[in-house]
């Protein structure tokens, strides 16, 4: 199989409800869609880099630059179509995991479609449905937060995560716990705290949380270990885990007891699977994080979350949690029991709706094998 053409598109989609984290509030999502074409089949991958370098140092524009000027030319120059060969070759370039992951995902989708198999089959998935959770942003008031949590619970979500930051943490947990004493509840700080906050963070132990996610900044494995020693609630790392190596170091240091896996953050599905397998061997549970993907990126996440060690509910919600109109048809829905079905069709197993993609597109460029003369 030879890749004949690669299309890059920047899309922008408005959220159904604003999403606020310790980084700030946003009203829409800008991301890149990668398409690889070969022999009449096309593979799709979503690049989860956001418009601004807040969660990660990558942005939509850095990912566009690295794809256009380095990764796409690499595919053509080396004649690559196999995702594992791409992942190996892409290591030549440092950093830019989200740009790499988007193209690797597109090659996986192409390969799986060519073989007539869903991604879950190629990746070693074992589950037909996954446990869905929902991530709730910071609201204007604690009452608004409790109302929103109540709405998601009545839709059937089994686990609630709330975003926290200094000034919106202990009281937010107290408000949700007062209303819902029994639910599976966890918090995510996106690195908003510093070690001087340890005495304050310890107050979170009072709320019977499933986990506290990423209290300190990404590079701070050592201080996470110090905090984990003082807290009874398990810590989970998101931003800090960028590879199998960093997962091993975090676990050896005692920096966390749970690992969040995101394909974009770790540079692609192959590295994500390595982290999954490593954690499984160590008896450490993982779960699949989300980056407010469209249905295209989310479908790939569903396949990943079908692997056996994704034991905790995931940040994988139905299309209507994010979008008025998702980019796929049928949309992703929540089933009874708070689960989502893993698509069964070839590749990502969902059909993109071209008209909606066109409506969301803000830039587009196509690349073909440069002719040798």
Residues with a catalytic annotation lie at 163, 262
Measured distance CA(235)–CA(233) in Å, rounded: 6
> Dihedral through CA 296, CA 297, CA 300, CA 304, nearest 10?
-160
Q: Which does residue 218 bind out of Mg ion, ligand OSB, none, counting CB within 5 to 8 angstroms by kind?
A: none
Residue 257: Cβ within 10 Å count: 16
Q: Which does residue 292 bind out of ligand OSB, Mg ion, none, counting CB within 5 to 8 angstroms by kind?
A: ligand OSB
Please, what is the minimum distance in Å from the beta carbon of residue 240 to Mg ion?
10
Q: Which does residue 55 bind out of Mg ion, ligand OSB, none, counting CB within 5 to 8 angstroms by kind?
A: ligand OSB
Shorter beta-carbon distance to ligand OSB: residue 86 or 152:
152
Count of residues that bind Mg ion according to CB under 5 A: 3
Q: Which does residue 315 bind out of ligand OSB, Mg ion, none, counting CB within 5 to 8 angstroms by kind?
A: ligand OSB
Please, what is the minimum distance in Å from the beta carbon of residue 290 to Mg ion?
9
Length of the chain: 373
Shorter beta-carbon distance to ligand OSB: residue 118 or 289:
289
Measured distance CA(52)–CA(250) in Å, rounded: 27
Shorter beta-carbon distance to ligand OSB: residue 3 or 139:
139
Contact between 297 and 31 under an 8 Å Cβ cutoff? The reply is: yes
Shorter beta-carbon distance to ligand OSB: residue 190 or 319:
190
Please, what is the minimum distance in Å from the beta carbon of residue 161 to Mg ion?
8
Contact between 161 and 134 under an 8 Å Cβ cutoff? The reply is: yes
Subset of 162-191 contacting Mg ion (CB under 5 A): 188
Shorter beta-carbon distance to ligand OSB: residue 289 or 338:
289
One character per residue 213-242, x = contact with Mg ion (rule: CB under 5 A): x------------------------x----
* 35 token code pair: 């398409």
Helix (H), strand (E) at residue 321: helix 319-322
Nearest to 28 by CA among 44, 45, 43, 10: 10
- Residue by residue, DSSP assigns 48-92 as ---SSSSSSS--HHHHHHHIIIIIHHHHHHHT---HHHHHHHHTT
Please, what is the minimum distance in Å from the beta carbon of residue 78 to ligand OSB?
32
Q: Which does residue 20 bind out of ligand OSB, Mg ion, none, counting CB within 5 to 8 angstroms by kind?
A: none
* 298 token code pair: 């989310």
Nearest to 130 by CA among 258, 315, 268: 315
Please, what is the minimum distance in Å from the beta carbon of residue 90 to Mg ion?
24
Q: Which does residue 294 bind out of ligand OSB, Mg ion, none, counting CB within 5 to 8 angstroms by kind?
A: none
- Residue 239 — left, alpha, or beta (φ > 0 → left; ψ -120 to 50 → alpha)? alpha
Measured distance CA(256)–CA(221) in Å, rounded: 9
Please, what is the minimum distance in Å from the beta carbon of residue 291 to ligand OSB?
5
The residue whose Cβ lies closest to ligand OSB is: 290
> What are the residues whose beta carbons fall under 8 Å from the beta carbon of 355, sequence distance 6 or more?
none
* Contacting positions for ligand OSB (CB under 6 A): 55, 135, 188, 190, 238, 289-292, 315, 317
Subset of 266-295 contacting Mg ion (CB under 5 A): none
Subset of 186-205 contacting Mg ion (CB under 5 A): 188
Nearest to 332 by CA among 305, 365, 312, 367: 305
Contact positions toward Mg ion, by CB under 5 A?
188, 213, 238
């Amino acid at each position: 199989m030879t890749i004949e053409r690669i299309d890059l598109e920047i899309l922008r989609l408005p959220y159904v409800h604003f999403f606020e984290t310790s980084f700030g509030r946003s009203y829409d999502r800008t991301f890149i869609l990668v398409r690889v074409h070969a022999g009449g089949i096309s593979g799709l991958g979503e690049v989860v880099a956001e418009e601004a370098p807040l969660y990660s140092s990558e942005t939509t524009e850095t990912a566009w630059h690295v794809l256009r000027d380095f990764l796409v030319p690499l595919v053509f120059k080396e004649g690559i179509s196999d995702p594992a060969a791409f992942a190996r070759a892409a290591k030549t370039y440092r950093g830019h995991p989200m740009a790499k992951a988007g193209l690797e995902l597109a090659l996986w989708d192409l390969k799986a479609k060519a073989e007539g198999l869903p991604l879950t089959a190629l990746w070693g998935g074992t589950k037909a449905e996954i446990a869905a959770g929902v991530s709730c942003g910071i609201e204007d008031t604690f009452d608004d937060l409790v109302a929103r949590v109540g709405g998601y619970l009545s839709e059937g979500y089994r686990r609630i995560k709330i975003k926290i930051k200094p000034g919106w943490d202990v009281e937010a947990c107290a408000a949700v716990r007062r209303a819902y004493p029994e639910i599976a509840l966890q918090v995510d700080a996106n690195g908003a705290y510093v070690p001087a906050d340890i005495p304050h963070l310890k107050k979170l132990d009072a709320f019977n949380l499933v986990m506290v996610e990423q209290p300190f900044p990404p590079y701070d494995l050592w201080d996470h270990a110090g905090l984990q020693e003082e807290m009874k609630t398990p810590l989970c790392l998101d931003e800090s885990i960028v590879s199998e190596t960093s997962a091993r170091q975090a676990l050896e240091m005692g920096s966390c007891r749970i690992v969040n896996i995101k394909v974009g953050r770790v540079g692609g599905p192959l590295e994500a699977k390595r982290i999954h397998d490593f954690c499984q061997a160590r008896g450490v549970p993982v779960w699949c994080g989300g980056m407010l993907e469209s249905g295209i990126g989310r479908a790939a996440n569903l396949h990943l979350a079908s692997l056996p060690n994704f034991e905790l509910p995931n940040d994988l919600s139905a299309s209507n949690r994010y979008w008025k109109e998702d980019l796929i048809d049928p949309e992703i829905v929540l089933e009874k029991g708070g689960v989502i079905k893993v698509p069964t069709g070839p590749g990502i197993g969902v059909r993109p709706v071209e008209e909606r993609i066109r409506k969301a597109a803000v830039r587009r460029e196509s690349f073909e094998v440069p002719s040798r003369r």
